[in-house]
Amino acid sequence: MRKFTYISYGLTFLGIISSSYLFGQITWSGVVTDGTQPVVGANVYLQDTYFGATTDTTGAYSFTANPMDTSHLIISAIGYQTQQRLFVASDSTASFDIRLQEASYTLQGVTISAGSFEASDKHQAIALKPLDIVTTAGAMGDIAGALQTLPGTQTVGEDGRLFVRGGDGHETKVFIDGLLAHSPFNASVPGIPTRGRFSPFLFKGTTFNTGGYSAEYGQALSSALLLNTNDLADQTQTDISLMTVGGNVSHQHRWDNSSVWAEGGYTDLTAYQWAVPQDVRWNTAPQAWNGSAAYRQKTSATGMIKAYAQASRSQLAVHQPDVEQLPNTNLVSLKNNNLNANVSFQEALGKKWVWHTGVSYTYDEQQITIDKSLIRQQQQSVHAKSVGTYDLNANVAIRLGAEYFQDQYDWETLTFENTNSTNLSLLDQRATQFIEADAYLTKRLVSRVGLRTEYAKLTNTWQASPRLSLAYKTGKDSQVSLAYGTFNQSPRTDYRLVNSDLADEQATHYIANYQITQTGRTFRAEVYHKQYQQLTKFDPVEPYNPLVYNNQGDGYARGLDIFWRDRKSVDNLDYWISYSLLDTERNYQDFPTATVPTFASKHNFSAVGKYFVTKLRTQVGAAYSFASGRPYFNPQQSELHADRTKAFHSLSVNAAWLIRQHIILYAAATNVLGRDNIFGYNYASQPNESGDYDRMPVQPTAPRFFFVGMFITLSKDKMKNQLDTL
């Protein structure tokens, strides 16, 4: 207690000093452009001081500082010539609008885009912004659900995670402010789709990598989803959400150099499932309690600390048909406790270095009861990371860093009838280093070259993963990009718990991309090939025998992705169209030979539209999704995965009505046409008396989902609302 008292006294003293120091300060402000468009992310600071700012999406900057008799304002940005402006104390204003000149090898408008959809305001080539991600019909506010309308993803309705370019759901990893989120999706049971854990209030930008991503990120065989959290809150406000499935309250408070945000919510589908008929019998409808908090502190003109924590508790119980003894059912119940914490710090060190460091911690406990058996799983994970970025000159930036991962897994099965139990545990520790350079080679060519190395203590092995990307400007608004890289990832935890000597699975990515971006319109086409090595294989007859597990599996995935977005042709209309062609086979898990995995469909198509009706103050939206039939195992067929489900079709709609500027009524419905979608079949292990195998379709728990909510924002000006988080 005494220690915290000292800290409190110290913070009070620092506050007094800061208040006195601010006396007499003036505001430095202006806009930085290149003559045609704003320069985003330019560094603007006073020479030989720590006072400064970074330009926002409009090129604007603003900061306060004590003027000296003579002050030099420095303006710098990668790809532009550094400039300075002189200010003397006798001047009446400290407002400077700056026009930067292109450096000798600057390639304006070109970014490394092969395999990447960036949803931030940093680049012109934007696929989806955060507002788009959370207002897509059918996604119901889930980031992963909205990303499934982009090319490269698969519609796997019984799961809910991101399946990307022939990769399984566990091959996509989620990073928050560069740190791995070890359990980004809510716990669920087979056949019940999951959702992301994290509130959309938290993030300002999203980069969805479908392959070929930076050497900074690893342990992801197919895809990396990078989520960037908000900086300081804009203003003090309170948000209240009243929904048909629960409620939520959040509050954020803004001070000059810090802000705090807290959120609490409760979800319960009991009343909803009573009102809307279900195709399964629920014993306990899904229920969840969650609480989140975030703290932001600006430590200097260029430094900031971010801290975030979330705790949740959920449960459900459902009667699932027992295909071995129809029409009997098995009661499957789940209880989950989860804690995620993330702390990061970023600071500019001098004029050329930027340092970013952080640590994340995850605790996750699941208890799954299936009829008379209990499975208890526990995970504790830590990820520590430190990254430095050095601007060598106007044309070259170098990024290097180190990481440490530690994962402790404990798994127990218990059979109630005879009290037999199986206990397994695993401690995994990894050390990682990476280095990467972005370089403007000519006026039309930019490159990114990187190398990532990992040491796994569990298997005492080293892994080296080279990465290479190139982008070439073919015209004023167009470019081509190429990407190559090798990627590794630990096998699934349940496999490594049985055989801890399993080596990392591997994939090699080859990607070619063409993109043209004009005002309000974007078109991109991408072809890719992935080659898998060292995939895990096992014999399901002896699931607890480590000798039947090996790394002799392999496979491939190749295809074409096309994306078109138009926000210009029709006033108030924004729409995009996605198409993916996938050709893939794998010989892994318990497959006797190479075949198409059950989650892969050859053709995927999405069309999303949003239209704002000005007179009605209403935004309406619709999303249509199509996926060709997926393969499934039929024991009556001699060929593995020879049968296909019928094609998937779903039309979803939503509408947001601004009752008042700060009050929104929101309604949404999925699969409004009531399409009877089937994701696969579960077969009995033995034929019945007629010689046929009984089977049960894998389907949604209800053909449609309806949602209605009222969202209220309380702020000083009553102009803020939650439209961008619906």
Express each pLDDT in 567-579 by its tens digit. Answer: 889 988 989 999 9
Q: Residue 318: which residues within 8 A CB-CB, separation 6 or more?
A: 189, 192, 280, 281, 282, 283, 284, 331, 332, 333, 701
The pLDDT of residue 5 is: 36
Do 436 and 399 contact (CB within 8 A), yes or no? yes
The pLDDT of residue 27 is: 80
Lowest mean pLDDT among 307-311, 390-394, 409-413: 390-394
Give the 3-state secondary structure of residue 180. strand
Backbone angles phi, psi at 547, to 5 degrees: -70, -15
Q: Residue 562: which residues within 8 A CB-CB, separation 6 or more?
A: 151, 524, 525, 526, 577, 578, 579, 580
Long-range contacts of 544-549, Cβ-Cβ distance < 8 Å, separation of 24 or more: 544/422, 544/498, 545/498, 546/498, 546/499, 546/501, 547/499, 549/495, 549/498, 549/499, 549/502
DSSP 8-state assignment for residue 635? T
Averaged pLDDT for residues 552-572:
93
The pLDDT of residue 8 is: 35
Is residue 106, in this structure, part of any structural domain at all?
no
Q: How many CB atoms sit inside 10 A of residue 405's CB?
A: 21
Is residue 111, in this structure, part of any structural domain at all?
no
Which CATH number is 134's domain given? 2.40.170.20
Give dist(CA 345, CA 202) in Å, integer. Answer: 17
Q: Residue 353: which residues within 8 A CB-CB, separation 6 or more?
A: 388, 389, 390
Is residue 582, in this structure, part of any structural domain at all?
yes
Do 479 and 471 contact (CB within 8 A), yes or no? yes
Give dist(CA 424, CA 230) in Å, integer. Answer: 40
Q: Please say which residue of 99, 129, 157 terminates a domain.
A: 99
pLDDT confidence band for 125 (50 / 70 / 90): very low
Same domain flag for 478 and 539: yes
Helices (H) and strands (E) in the chain, counts: 5, 38
Please provide the DSSP assignment of 556-579 as one string: EEEEEEEEEEESSSSTTEEEEEEE
Give dist(CA 195, CA 224) in Å, integer. Answer: 17
Is residue 302, in this structure, part of any structural domain at all?
yes
Q: Which of 200-209, 233-242, 669-678 has the highest mean pLDDT?
A: 669-678
Please provide the DSSP assignment of 195-206 as one string: -B-S-GGGEEEE
The pLDDT of residue 501 is: 94
Give me the residue label for tokens 């959370």.
134
Counting Cα atoms < 13 Å in the Cβ hemisphere of 70 gives 2
The tens digit of pLDDT for each residue in 237-255 reads: 898 989 999 999 999 999 9
Same domain flag for 685 and 599: yes
Sign, CA torsion 312/333/726/173: positive
Give dist(CA 349, CA 383) in Å, integer. Answer: 24
**pLDDT at residue 126 is higher than 80:** no
Sign, CA torsion 596/628/194/226: positive
pLDDT confidence band for 15 (50 / 70 / 90): very low
The pLDDT of residue 425 is: 94
**pLDDT at residue 22 is higher than 60:** no
Lowest mean pLDDT among 242-246, 291-295, 380-384, 514-518: 514-518
**pLDDT at residue 157 is higher than 80:** yes
DSSP 8-state assignment for residue 241? E
**pLDDT at residue 716 is higher than 80:** no
Six-digit token string for 305: 């600390």
Q: Residue 638: which residues within 8 A CB-CB, separation 6 or more?
A: none
**pLDDT at residue 105 is higher than 70:** no
The pLDDT of residue 93 is: 62
Note the residue count of the chain: 726
Domain count along the chain: 2
Is residue 8, in this structure, part of any structural domain at all?
no
Give dist(CA 150, CA 165) in Å, integer. Answer: 11
Same domain flag for 146 and 93: no
Which CATH number is 41's domain given? 2.60.40.1120
Same domain flag for 89 and 142: no
The pLDDT of residue 418 is: 66
Same domain flag for 57 and 150: no
Same domain flag for 301 and 258: yes
Same domain flag for 159 and 257: yes
Lowest mean pLDDT among 9-18, 554-563, 574-583: 9-18
Give dist(CA 450, CA 487) in Å, integer. Answer: 12
**What are the start-end ranges of the E strands in 223-352?**
223-229, 237-243, 246-254, 258-268, 281-298, 304-321, 329-349
pLDDT confidence band for 59 (50 / 70 / 90): confident
Q: Please say which residue of 52, 69, 99 terminates a domain.
A: 99
The residue with greater pLDDT, 60 or 345, is 345
Is residue 104, in this structure, part of any structural domain at all?
no
Same domain flag for 567 and 605: yes
Give me the residue label for tokens 């180190």.
402
pLDDT confidence band for 114 (50 / 70 / 90): low
Give dist(CA 632, CA 598) in Å, integer. Answer: 5
Backbone angles phi, psi at 496, to 5 degrees: -70, -25
Burial bucket for residue 36 (CB in 10 Å: 0-12, 13-18, 19+): exposed
Same domain flag for 56 and 145: no
Residues of the domain holding 280? 116-725
Do 661 and 149 contact (CB within 8 A), yes or no? no
Q: Which of 290, 326, 330 is nearest to 189 (CA)?
A: 330
Is residue 718, in this structure, part of any structural domain at all?
yes
Q: Which amino acid is at 598?
A: T
Give dist(CA 117, CA 559) in Å, integer. Answer: 17
Sign, CA torsion 683/684/690/696: negative
The tens digit of pLDDT for each residue in 449-480 reads: 999 999 999 999 999 999 999 888 888 888 89
Is residue 141, in this structure, part of any structural domain at all?
yes
The pLDDT of residue 317 is: 95
Same domain flag for 95 and 153: no
C-alpha angle 447-122-625 in degrees, rounded to nearest 5: 95
Same domain flag for 120 and 65: no
Lowest mean pLDDT among 305-319, 416-430, 498-512, 706-720: 706-720
Same domain flag for 80 and 205: no
Q: Please say which residue of 47, 65, 99 terminates a domain.
A: 99
Give dist(CA 670, CA 702) in Å, integer. Answer: 10
